[in-house]
Amino acid sequence: MTSTPASVDPHALSEQLDSGKNVRVIDVRTPGEFDTVHIPGAYNVPLDLLREHRDEFLAHFDESVVLVCRSGQRATDAEGTLREAGLLNVHILEGGMNAWQAAGLNVNRGAERWDLERQVRLVAGSIVLGSVLGSVAAPKLKWLAAGIGGGLSFAALSNTCAMGMLLSKLPYNRGRSCDPETIVAELVAAKTSQTEGK
């Protein structure tokens, strides 16, 4: 039986953070997206890294965890991964960063980069347009456009995106170094400073 993921409203999360409640904000977007804009105090643990090193991170998620992405889908995937491993104190930020920013809440901004969804639309659209135009000279190119259309339809139906996963691995989306050891060290340091502050 699948349960509906627990979620938290952006204003409620902002109040929890302002009041000093023991909550850990984990942003599962790419480092490039995170560097562009993120919630102050959030930790960047990209979804693919979270899946690969889930057990390493679980040992440091003993407080309430709120997962954040652009609109909620990657956070929902991450929530399933963590619940499957036994973490029950996990929530999803309703509407993701889109809702957080729309509510006018505080953010840290860096260099502007395109979010992953926009990159997928550009690449898919360019391939389809190029193959349709190219099919004038090489008629078989129309099948490339059909393949991309089929892939996008499958992505919508399965709520996954192979092109997005591939694009997330490009240097543009990697941004700063984002490895499990560094993230775990940041989590441990934050926990130590919280303990010492009490």
Active site residues: 69
The H or E element that residue 157 is part of is: helix 142-158
Q: Which amino acid is at 69?
A: C
Using CA atoms of 146, 166, 50, 10 in order, give the dihedral in degrees to the nearest 10.
-70
Query: Element (H or E) spanning 126, and its range?
Result: helix 116-134
Between CA 182 and CA 47 the distance in angstroms is 16
Collect all residues with Cβ–Cβ distance below 8 Å to 83 and sequence separation of at least 6.
5, 90
Query: Half-sphere exposure of residue 196, counting CA atoms within 13 Å on the CB side?
Result: 6
Q: How far apart are CA 175 and CA 154, in angstroms?
A: 29
Question: What is 7-50 written as a DSSP string?
Answer: EE-HHHHHHHHHTT-SEEEEE-S-HHHHHHEE-TT-EE--HHHH
